[in-house]
Structure 1
Amino acid sequence: MPDRVVGHVEEIAATLATQRPDLVGVYLHGSAVLGGFDPARSDVDVLAVVAGPEGESAQRRAGEAVAATAARCPGAGLELSVLTAATARELGDCRFEAHVNTTGAEPVIVPGAGAGGDPDLVLHAAVCREFGRAVLGPPPGEVFGRPPRQRILAAMAADLRWAIDAGHAAYAVLNACRAARFAEEGRLCSKLDGARWYLGRHPDDATVTAALTRHLGGGRGPSVERAVAFVQGSGLTGWATTGG
């Protein structure tokens, strides 16, 4: 666990506490807890849980306060979602209080009031429940419910379709590998561990090898066409409707 990352999330927790007196907990998830965190290219992924909903102005103020810490982020940027305790426990329609993303040139702050739910929270909550680090508040297993297998598979499938549509070939291939591991073993893991797991079964797979090499900072990675063929050949995107 990178000390600088934990220290930054502690700063975020203290900042959020000044805006949301009902703050329940702040949890680090993503590559910082799954493994493979690289400050040059990895986001710092955080979920914050509050007792109940607030109005749009309060949501935006909290997001702006967190975004103001961006200059001190020890990774490629911060991706944070604030959700209520009810959403953390049950997910429901995945409504959120605020999203903050500082990976681009300018911070993006999205208040949850009036917005639809965010299906990405399903996978984030699942990872957080199993691997998350509580920087503030009770253990994640006491705060986050266990998402049903079907919802996790659907979230993985949606992420794969997004990656293909956006042309992120290596990302799509590596996420397909970790999705395949979850489908077969029921185990969540990092993209790196998913690729290594897949190569343990298919050591000569050139598409996965190219994607892994690209992710580790070398090579051009697979083409989008090869990534599409790999994902479609696995049938992973069908999970969103069939459940695998």
Structure 2
Amino acid sequence: MAADTPAEVVRYASEVASALSAVRADLVGVYVHGSAALGGFRAARSDVDVLAVVGGPADRSGQLAMGEAVVATAAQCPGTGLEMSVITAATAARCGACPFEVHIRTGATGTVVVPGADHGADPDLLLHCAVCREHGLTVYGPPAAGVFGPVPAARVRAAMADELAWGLEHGDATYAVLNACRALRFATDGQLCSKVDGARWYTARHGESAVVTAALTHQLHGHSAPALPDAETFVMSLKSGEFRLS
């Protein structure tokens, strides 16, 4: 658990676990990941990332029931909202194609419940599982290291490389820059860290960078975000430069 994990995040995740256990007797565990577990959570810009594990698969109606139970807790969520998936124990242990049971997203833009029966795998789950195994905060069930199997470093690097374009495509320059710093750190020394810690590591290792500093101060203090063209130049220079991420 990160030293700065807010108590309200822990309380809320426990409410999510209680809601989920009411509809799934085979609930294995509920784990907080993302910035609340790694460090750098800021209520104004951070969502609460949760990954839950159940014993086995459900049909579409069962998946929707899980989603509805979790959504009922949304009003209590700190931060900008909840980003959560439910997966089976087999998926957590193997981290193969990463199918999901249900994905839930709440926040200012609305609530989304996506049953896994209507979709294939979610490639984002690979990184979520890797972070949970190493840094996940257990709010229900056994320690994460006994639930989530190891994820090969090559798969983590590939997933991070695939994720680099997301922030740019969605116009979030701060996310793109900080995520690139985090990915570069993993490619360099194999450490999974928060976006904030990734930016601090980059500065300590490579010196001051105006675009990294702008992204970091925007994330931490709400100052002006870096310009999107500058973020794109920075991300692409890392992706194709000396430290290849894929």
Q: Contact between 1:26 and 1:136, CA under 8 Å: does it hold in 2?
A: yes
Q: Describe the shift of the 1:111–1:236 C-alpha distance in structure 2 as closer, same or farther (beyond 3 A).
A: farther
Structure 1 residue 154 corresponds to structure 2 residue 158: yes
- CA shift, 1:243, in A, is 6.4
Find the partner of 2:125 among 105, 115, 121: 121
Partner of 2:31: 27
Distance in 2, Cα, partners of 1:193 & 1:236: 22
Q: Contact between 1:43 and 1:77, CA under 8 Å: does it hold in 2?
A: yes
- CA shift, 1:208, in A, is 0.7
Partner of 2:113: 109
Aligned-pair identity in percent equals 56
- CA shift, 1:236, in A, is 6.0
SS in 2 for 1:219: coil
Q: Describe the shift of the 1:235–1:139 C-alpha distance in structure 2 as closer, same or farther (beyond 3 A).
A: same
Q: Contact between 1:5 and 1:74, CA under 8 Å: does it hold in 2?
A: yes
Q: Name the aligned partner's letter for residue 49 of structure 1.
A: V
- CA shift, 1:193, in A, is 0.5
Distance in 1, Cα, partners of 2:245 & 2:225: 29
Find the partner of 1:48 among 49, 52, 55: 52
Q: Name the aligned partner's letter for residue 136 of structure 1.
A: Y
Q: TM-score normalized by structure 2?
A: 0.94
Q: Name the aligned partner's letter for residue 234 of structure 1.
A: L
RMSD (CA atoms): 1.6
SS in 2 for 1:100: strand
Q: Name the aligned partner's letter for residue 199 of structure 1.
A: T
SS in 2 for 1:113: helix
Partner of 1:189: 193
Distance in 1, Cα, partners of 2:143 & 2:156: 21
Structure 1 residue 2 corresponds to structure 2 residue 2: no
Partner of 1:138: 142
Partner of 2:223: 219
Q: Contact between 2:161 and 2:245, CA under 8 Å: does it hold in 1?
A: no
Q: TM-score normalized by structure 1?
A: 0.94
Structure 1 residue 11 corresponds to structure 2 residue 29: no
Q: Name the aligned partner's letter for residue 79 of structure 1.
A: E
- CA shift, 1:217, in A, is 2.6
- Write out per-residue CA displacement over residues 180-226 of structure 1, whole angstroms, 9 at most, x where no aligned residue: 11001000000110000000122231111111111123432221111
Count of residue pairs the alignment pairs up: 241
Q: Contact between 1:157 and 1:236, CA under 8 Å: does it hold in 2?
A: no
Q: Name the aligned partner's letter for residue 141 of structure 1.
A: A
Q: Describe the shift of the 1:7–1:32 C-alpha distance in structure 2 as closer, same or farther (beyond 3 A).
A: same
SS in 2 for 1:57: helix
Structure 1 residue 83 corresponds to structure 2 residue 87: yes
Most deviating of 97-106 and 175-184: 97-106
Partner of 2:183: 179
